[in-house]
Amino acid sequence: MKVSLASALGTCFGVQDAINLAMGPEFHSDLTIIGQLVHNPQVNESLKNNGVDLIQGIEDISKIKTKKVMITAHGAADKTKQKLIDAGLIVYDASCPLVMRVHKTIKSLVDKEYFPVVIGQKDHVEVKGIVGDLDDFLVINGESDLEKIRERGKRKLGIVSQTTQQVDKVESLVKKIREMDCVDDVAFVNTICQPTRDRQIAVWELAEQVDLMIVIGGFNSSNTKKLVQVCDEKNIEAHHIESSTQLQHSWFKGKEHVGITAGTSTPENVINEVHQEILKIAKDMKLKSEPVVS
Ligand code: SF4
């Protein structure tokens, strides 16, 4: 059984910079992170072990016991940051520059009198941050939401996407919006980030060569789920795992070529552990299928 890694996988620079900042010696256990710094259980566990407090979101502001707080790579609305400052906290901002680009883009579209539309998951922390300073907006996540555009009756739309959306899906939705008779003018800025695109292209290419894909990343990680969707579209069996302990030997039975990919918040050591475990499974299976010569 051959095992191949996708040509682009794992932690992106935005997540890595945020982790490095949170692990910095200046905090000495005086840091609370607002929300998950990354959607990865192992990273969050090691932060907790380093004495860092984690709270779910700004709603839990009363639970903060430290003087210093950190905004995650997913970003936050200016209103949220101000609320933290007003509470007397020192705010460290680990927002990824590519998320901040989306904030700036949507604000500039609103300045040009476009009605803001975000393609993404309305409950995702990144999307909440993108729309958090807007007076009015619409978040759509699929064709079933297109009717909402008609209902809002806005004829001039400024569209951006969550950074971790699937490229094909976003392009197809925008095409359909452009064709709607209730819309006159569509300004679309594709704000899917380059690391997300690279990982989607790499898994697409690898899916053409393998008969099984192992996708590593947090179960709540948006971009990891998109990698699984790409495999589904290519009709390739894919299993989403968070760690090597979740691998099941039965998945590999009869498989000739296994691919490995990982979302943008999956650390290198987790990918290495999974890779090594799969190589071990491949070796075990080979030993079992070879006749014992006495
Ligand atoms: S996935 Fe993209 S936008 Fe999100 S942190 Fe990584 S580089 Fe930044």
What is the Cα–Cα distance from 240 to 228, expressed in whole angstroms? Answer: 7
User: Which atom belonging to ligand 1 lies closest to the Cα atom of 18?
Assistant: 5
185 CA to centre of ligand 1 in angstroms = 29
pLDDT at 292: 46
184 CA to centre of ligand 1 in angstroms = 32
Beta carbons within 10 angstroms of residue 49's beta carbon = 8
User: Could you give phi then psi for residue 239, rounded to 5 degrees?
Assistant: -125, 130
What is the Cα–Cα distance from 72 to 169, expressed in whole angstroms? Answer: 26
Q: Which two tokens stand for residue 46?
A: 């090691």
276 CA to centre of ligand 1 in angstroms = 27
Q: How many helices (H) and strands (E) does the chain have?
A: 10, 12
- What the chain holds in terms of domains, given with CATH numbers, is 2-9+194-288 (3.40.1010.20), 13-96 (3.40.50.11270), 98-188 (3.40.1010.20)
**Consecutive sets of 10 residues in the chain, 294 residues long: mean pLDDT of each?**
95 92 82 84 82 88 93 94 95 96 98 98 94 97 96 97 94 97 97 95 96 94 91 96 96 95 93 96 76 46
Cβ contacts of 200 within 8 Å, gap of 6 or more:
166, 167, 226, 227, 230
pLDDT digits (tens, 9 = 90+) for 189-240: 999 999 999 999 999 999 999 999 999 999 988 889 999 999 999 999 999 9
Beta carbons within 10 angstroms of residue 230's beta carbon = 24
Break the chain down into helix, strand, coil percent, rounded to 5: 45, 20, 35
User: Which atom belonging to ligand 1 lies closest to the Cα atom of 163?
Assistant: 3
Return the residue whose CA atom lies nearest to atom 7 of ligand 1.
14
Spot the catalytic one: 113, 126, 179, 273: 126
What is the Cα–Cα distance from 225 to 215, expressed in whole angstroms? Answer: 9
Sheet containing strand 185-188, edge to edge, reads 138-140, 115-119, 156-161, 185-188
Q: Which two tokens stand for residue 124?
A: 């995702």
pLDDT at 290: 53
Yes or no: say if 186 and 233 are a contact pair by the CB < 8 Å rule: no
Sheet containing strand 53-55, edge to edge, reads 53-55, 31-34, 68-71, 90-93
User: Could you give phi then psi for residue 236, rounded to 5 degrees?
Assistant: -110, 130
pLDDT at 294: 39
Q: Is 151 among the catalytic positions?
A: no
27 CA to centre of ligand 1 in angstroms = 24
What is the CA angle 21-24-29, rounded to 5? 115
Among 20, 38, 163, 225, which residue has the most ligand 1 atoms within 8 Å of its CB, making it the best to mutate? 163
Q: What is the DSSP string of 27-90?
A: GTT-EEEES-SSS-HHHHHHHHHTT-EEESSGGGGGG--SSEEEE-TT---HHHHHHHHHTTPE
pLDDT at 205: 97
99 CA to centre of ligand 1 in angstroms = 7
Residues in the chain: 294
Cβ contacts of 25 within 8 Å, gap of 6 or more:
none
Nearest alpha-carbon partner for 139 in 168, 114, 119, 113: 119
Q: Which two tokens stand for residue 141?
A: 């996540």
pLDDT at 211: 95
Among 72, 96, 160, which residue has the most ligand 1 atoms within 8 Å of its CB, making it the best to mutate? 96
Beta carbons within 10 angstroms of residue 175's beta carbon = 11
pLDDT at 111: 98
- Ligand 1 neighbours (beta carbon < 6 A): 12-15, 73, 96, 98-99, 163-164, 193, 195-196, 223, 264
Q: Is 18 helix (H, G, I), strand (E, B) or coil?
A: helix
Give me the amino acid identity at 208: E
pLDDT at 287: 66
